[in-house]
Amino acid sequence: MNYAEYISVNPNIRFGKPCVNGTRISVYDVLSWLASGMSFEEIISDFPQLNKEQILACLSFAADKERKLKIAV
């Protein structure tokens, strides 16, 4: 998935945190909701401006960031 189609960083929105395009919902918000046990359906019900592809893009963004993380030795 090309998460760049769904996630952007704008220094004027949420202090430059990565957010879902067209919203003020950050990737961190979505990941936190998933980590707390919310399903995709529950998130979309609570935040109807989101869809499944955008939630998957948040996961993809986090996975890519983890892959690029360098371990300090």
Q: What is the pLDDT of residues 50-64, one digit of tens each?
A: 999 999 999 999 999
**And the tokens for 6?**
């769904």
State the Cα–Cα distance between residues 6 and 13, nearest whole angstrom. Answer: 15
Question: Cα 66–34–31 angle (5° rounding)?
Answer: 40
Give the percent of the chain with pLDDT over 70. Answer: 95
Q: What is the pLDDT of residues 22-35, one digit of tens each?
A: 999 999 999 999 99
**50 contacts 43 by C-beta, under 8 angstroms:** yes
pLDDT value at residue 73: 57
Tokens 């704008």 identify what position? 10
pLDDT value at residue 71: 64
pTM metric for this prediction: 0.89
Other CB atoms within 10 Å distance of the CB of residue 56: 15
What CATH number labels 3-68?
Answer: 1.10.10.10
pLDDT value at residue 49: 97
